[in-house]
Every structure is written in structure tokens, then in C-alpha cells.
Amino acid sequence: VNGAIAEKDWAEAVASVQSIIRPGAEVLLACHVNPDGDALGSMLGFAQGLQQLGVTGLQCSFPGPLSVPDPLHMPGMNLLVPEEQAYTAPDLLVTFDAASTSRLGSLAQRLDSAAMSIVLDHHASNSGFGKLSLVDPDAAATALVAARLLDRLGVQYDLGIAECLYIALVTDTGSFKFDLTTPEVHELAARLVGSGISVGAISRRIFDTRPFGAVKLFGEVLGRANLDPAAAQGRGMVTAVATLDDLVKHNQPGYILEALIDSVRCTAEADVACLLKQVSEREWAVSLRSKGGADVSKVAVALGGGGHRLAAGFTGRGSADEIIEAVRAHLV
């Protein structure tokens, strides 16, 4: 399956990778800020594929502090370097799951300095950057695009590669529940499971384990959720707001809130779900979800972010009420 990507682009990507399989070549892989399972998993899985092919001078990075949430610890993390230490002019740069250069922080500078750059992504909102753009908006995860390239390179999925790609696939498909869960997704999953990964243990770690403090925290934030039946052209919007005070009170790290949107979006009376996660006094990470009536990527892009039709996000500045009102205003 090729999806939206032309065969000549695959051929160019394969040739570019093969040309850096030589001693001394510097290869930098980069994914988006605050990496999720797909960003990290597709990047680190691909990295181990390159190692299998004999690539040596290999670095992986993402902007910001080099911390990875416990549930997302996976093979290949030994390859991670802070953005400041990343090769300044690599022979090859490959980006993963980043829809725009702003998501790459200072690593975006390497798009100009790298001899070759390849963009692997699946966001319809991808702004089109990099010398070679391999973007398939119909792919459920960037991992699917990365796997197509690994297959063309003749990489065999060992345990490490398989665990990374599986984590990417299982997170971006919501455990194979979302609309883009195609036969190709299940076929890739079958191959990954076939290489011996522990599906139960991975799922428990990523989806079904959180500290008791987080259980209480979720309860408190959900207890304050608000349903606005008139919003989104009468399709309804449910909103929830998690503050820094909530995190402090329950002694939880910010990343623990990533899973909370799934408990908000199940609201039957709302097509749109909106979760505000406070980052600082007047800055919020906003998650948007739609059941199909609204295109939330349009809302997110209009407010400076990006994403997919049914799952998108942006950074909001102002009071929580102001941001909710802005989202509401863009849903008409």
C-alpha cells in the first residue's frame, strides 16, 4: 500500500538512506516537542532499523527537556541526545510526526543545514517542509509511514523495533479503535506481535496504569466538567479544565493528563470535547476531539496549532474562559 505517497518519492527516500550507510556519516532523527507514543515510537523504531542496516553516526532528538514519561519508556532511548547536542549539519535529517517546523523547536534549523531532509508524517495539516516530504493523511500513525520505508529498506522487525512501532501504532489508533484503523494497520500489528512483543504488558503500562493520586485528580477535574449543548452548531461541546493547582494538590506530573481527554470525549451529549491543561499562569495546552460533526483541526489551526480532523490541539494564552470562548467561536 502506498497511500498518498508517490513511488518516486519512496525511491528517493530509499536512495537517500542507502547513501548514508557509510562510516562517518551523521544522521539525525527528530520528532515533535512533548513527544507522544507515535512521535517517539516511530522515531526510535526507525532508528533501530537504520542501525540494523549499519548506520553508525546516529542521533535521535526532540526539542525541550529530554524527559520521557515513564509509560513511554521504550527500546532505543539510549540514542536520545538533547537538542543542543544534535549534529548541526547532518548528512541526513529525518523528522517524525511533526506537522510544522514550529513543532521541532531549534532542531528546525537543521532543515536548512542538513545535506538531505526527509519528513515522515500523517497530519493533513502538514505545512510541507523538508527536501522530501512523505506525508500520508490517511495513515493512522506516522509509524505506518515509517514501516513502509523500513520495509522498502529490507529491515527485519526485531524485538526492539517491533516494541517501538507497536507503541506508536497502539497509541495513535486508540488501541485500534479509531476510524483510520485499516487492514494495513492490523497487518502491521500482526507482524509486530509476531516478533514476540508482550502486548498485554505494553498495553497495561501505557493505558491501564496510573498512580492513585491521578485517579483522584481525574475525578476532581471530571467533576467540574461542563456541558454546553448549544455549542458546535447544537451538536454540543463538553469542556474540562485541569489547573496547575490540581497537579500540585495530587502531586502529579503534567504528562499524567494526556489520558484524561479520553474520559471527557466519551460524553454522549457532545460532538466536541475540549480539555485545557494549564502550563503556566496564562498558558494552556488544549486538546480537542470530535466525533465527526466538527473538524477540530480547523479550530486548532485557526488558534495556532494543528492536528487531525477528529483530534487536534493548540497552545492557548489567556484565561481558561477566554480560550473556551475562542474554541466555541471557531466551531460555528
Using CB under 5 A, list all residues that contact Mn ion. Answer: 38, 97, 142, 172
- Residue 87 or 284: the one with the smaller Cβ distance to ligand 5GP is 284
Q: How far is the CB of 308 from Mn ion (least distance, A)?
A: 8
- Residue 17 or 285: the one with the smaller Cβ distance to ligand 5GP is 285
Task: Kindly give, in sequence order, each residue whose CB lies less than 8 Å from that of residue 83, ignoring residues fewer than 6 positions away.
Answer: 61, 62, 63, 64, 105, 106, 107
Name the one range near ligand 5GP by CB under 6 A: 23-31, 74-82, 97-105, 212-220.
97-105
- Residue 92 or 146: the one with the smaller Cβ distance to Mn ion is 146
d(CA 327, CA 284): 13
Name the binder of 61 from ligand 5GP, Mn ion, none, CB < 5-8 A by kind: none
- The grid cell for 139 is 495513515
SS3 percent helix, strand, coil of the chain, rounded to 5, is 45, 20, 40
Contact 285, 64 (CB under 8 A): no
**Binder to ligand 5GP among 103, 110, 250, 328 (CB under 6 A)?**
103
- The grid cell for 272 is 466536541
Name the binder of 252 from Mn ion, ligand 5GP, none, CB < 5-8 A by kind: none
51 binds ligand 5GP (CB under 6 A): no
Residue 228 exposed, middle or buried by CB count within 10 Å (0-12, 13-18, 19+): middle
How many residues belong to the chain? Answer: 332
Question: Would the CA dihedral through 55, 56, 59, 60 be positive or negative?
Answer: positive
Q: How far is the CB of 118 from ligand 5GP (least distance, A)?
A: 19
Name the binder of 76 from ligand 5GP, Mn ion, none, CB < 5-8 A by kind: none
99 binds ligand 5GP (CB under 6 A): yes
- Residue 289 or 328: the one with the smaller Cβ distance to ligand 5GP is 289
Convert 162-194 to b/e letters by CB count within 10 Å (16 or more is b): bbbbbbbbbbbbeeeeeebbbebbeebbeebee
Q: How far is the CB of 100 from ligand 5GP (least distance, A)?
A: 6
Chain residues in the site for ligand 5GP (CB under 6 A): 99-100, 103, 261, 287, 305-308, 311-315
